[in-house]
Chain A
Amino acid sequence: MRYMEEFRDPKAAKAVLARIAAVVDEIGATAEKPLHIMEICGGHTHAIFRYGLDKLTHPGIEFIHGPGCPVCVLPRARVDDCIAIARRPEVIFATFGDAMRVPGTEMSLLEAKAGGADIRMVYSPLDALELARRNPEREVVFFGLGFETTTPSTALSIQAAAREGLGNFSVFCNHITVPPPLRALLSDPDMRLDGFVGPGHVSMVIGIHAYDFIAGEFGKPIVVAGFEPLDLLQSVLMAVEQIRDGRAEVENQYARVVPEHGNPVSLAAIADVYEMRPSFEWRGLGEIDQSGLRIRDGYRRHDAEAKFGIGYGAAARGSAEPEDCACGQVMTGRLKPTACPHFGKGCTPGMPLGALMVSSEGACAAYYQYGGARAAAE
């Protein structure tokens, strides 16, 4: 129980763990026949490993690590597109640091930068807007990446560029949405998911009713959770209590930050700037209907896909994954990271082959990073 020392309130954590154990025993789940609880958000995956929550909870709970790590679901073809844009001499390509090390077919953005492309790591799309103001002779392209938490920031930046008439600012939009892959996973007859821990900050934007279909159509509980370890444990408890009681509801453990109906300003900006693509490609999950956003015609001037004729759908579909790369199976919970032939050998956080090893939010990187501490604790 070495991990317990790291909780700010170990007594409270122990009490919740005991209640989880009692409920799981009532349900009758065991290590051999565990409940499959999917944490959707990569930040939650990181926290579960950091605090060893999967080891502290009753063995009758198995965490399945969901698709909520934006760089992990980014196909290699999109990285290739970024590099093709960044290599244009007139372009300053601005991106979040998270995307820099994601492997493309031949190289990452980091390698392209070393090769001379003008790629700038920025903290915010606002930095890219400022780059466009300061460099009127250059084309500044921001790589719009991520789920609903980051989507409002690029939408508001595009609106600002339109207001200011900053024609040299565009966004390469690859924003994706959380609910559609969950529907895809729940519709997959090979998947057995008993309940969900819902993403906190995505829900801060979209509210909790975006998950009504999980409870209503699929009969599974989902609890929107905060990021502190005690938040996660309480959410797991709420989910297993629902399972025990035969309830399927959308509950909000993180109400202190997540409003029931989301953030109205963010939602209005998203609706104004973006529209749903009929389909979008996810690394490891394939094509998913209504799961990605594109920029509306009204903001075409700030759409890098239109400006450079590049992006999803512009070339042949799909991108091959490295040989034997098991990211897709790991992401759907079919395989543990350590079962991948490349894990820790050809694929490490320093030299990632698959996207799940790139970010601290990826299941493989989390296994790798905390594997040593974990072995010592067992």
Chain B
Amino acid sequence: MCLGIPGRIVAVTDAARQMAMAEVSGVRREVNVACVAEGPLAELVGRWALIHVGFAMALIDEAEAEATLAALRELGEAQEALDAMAAGDAALEGRP
């Protein structure tokens, strides 16, 4: 559960709450960027981050993101993360 997944930050959604939209393997998910915000949040747009349970924990370069994603796919962990995100969305709506 410590593996996390790389995602690309595509937009700032709520600067006050330090939230941004990230694209993770084609899935969009709002994430918290407090841990990687060193300057204005807008500077994060376009950057890759290692995302762990909804929090961007480290900025990484694109090559590292690709290599990590490939390794996660081979471990079955990439799908696990995407499934967990879908389960989270279902939980918010009270769907089983």
Contacts and interface: CB of A to CB of B under 8 A. Distances in A.
Contacts of A202: 2
A228 B87 contact: no
Contacts of B42: none
Interface in B57-80: 57-58, 60-61, 64, 67-68, 70-72, 74-77
Q: For this complex, into which size category does the number of interface residues on chain A fall?
A: 35 or more
B35 interface: yes
Interface string A79-96: 000000000000000101
Contacts of B50: 201, 204, 257
A123 B1 contact: no
Interface string B26-57: 00011010111100000000000010111101
Contacts of B60: 256-257
A184 B94 CA distance: 43
A71 B52 CA distance: 17
A111 B71 CA distance: 33
B71 to A, nearest CB: 5
Contacts of A269: 34
A149 B57 contact: yes
User: Which of B50, B53, B84 is most buried by chain A, counting CB atoms within 10 A of its CB?
Assistant: B53
Contacts of B68: 227-228
B91 A150 contact: no
B4 interface: yes
Interface residues of B, number: 40
A146 B57 CA distance: 15
B58 A204 contact: yes
A152 B55 contact: yes
Nearest to A95: B91
A131 B72 CA distance: 29
Interface of A: 6, 8, 41-43, 46-47, 50, 68, 70-71, 94, 96-98, 120-127, 130-131, 134, 146-147, 149-150, 152-153, 156, 160, 199-202, 204-205, 227-229, 256-257, 263, 265-266, 269, 359-361
A71 B1 CA distance: 9
Contacts of B72: 227
A134 B64 CA distance: 37
Contacts of B57: 149, 152, 201, 204-205, 263, 266
Contact of B3 (A130, A156, A227, A256): A227
B92 A134 contact: yes
Nearest to A96: B1
A160 B92 contact: no
Contacts of B75: 43, 46-47, 50, 227, 360
A337 B28 CA distance: 40
Listed residue (B3, B17, B70) with the most chain A CB atoms within 10 angstroms of its CB: B3
A124 B4 contact: no
A43 B81 CA distance: 14
A98 B87 CA distance: 12
B91 A156 contact: no
Contacts of B87: 97, 121-123
B3 A153 contact: no
A361 B35 CA distance: 26
B10 interface: no
